[in-house]
Structure 1
């Protein structure tokens, strides 16, 4: 652990502002990194997992942003285009599969989805701010 240095101190207000500025793309990449860490930690990992072992040889996963699974692929099934939000892969290739999707995210292949998710995030943030302001204004001093 590094030795404490007062320069490490950051006002909490600034940390919260930085958190609010994270894009959906940043959140998706962070989610992928967390899944990698959880997979490597095995049963000792903490937090909600967005992957599960379907049998002894495969892992099923989704990449979630703001409680919404990204559409990872679009495939044609019996003349109908289907949006696939969950994928499976062999357990031994799971980390490589996550890296594959991270590379696609970095290459902006999902930019339309992220734009929509960023819009939803902005609407939710504005709604929460308004609700808090209304409660504060209605509260007697």
Structure 2
């Protein structure tokens, strides 16, 4: 079996507008209404580098309730992102750490209680 890249991610939110504000301000993501009420497609990149396909929507209230959004988001400056996370209501859960030969990583919980990582990847040439 051939491994595939992640093709989509969902952010499940108790408050969709709050989640959109958080991710818009911290990472510059853009949102467009699609499908059912409170369902928004996420644009994480631009035309030259479109990024990954995602969506933010209301967290299911049933037994299918998911608290499992944990992707790693590539960033240029982990310290700057950590400050933005806290300024926008998130909480750093793992302080900046270095993963040898990979990069610098923080883990945080967003305004919806989801656990997310941000990493500044080391240049492959170093």
TM-score, normalised by the number of residues in structure 1: 0.21
* TM-score, structure 2 normalization: 0.23
* Bigger Rg, which one: 1
- Which is bigger in relative contact order (C-alpha 8 A, separation at least 6)? 2
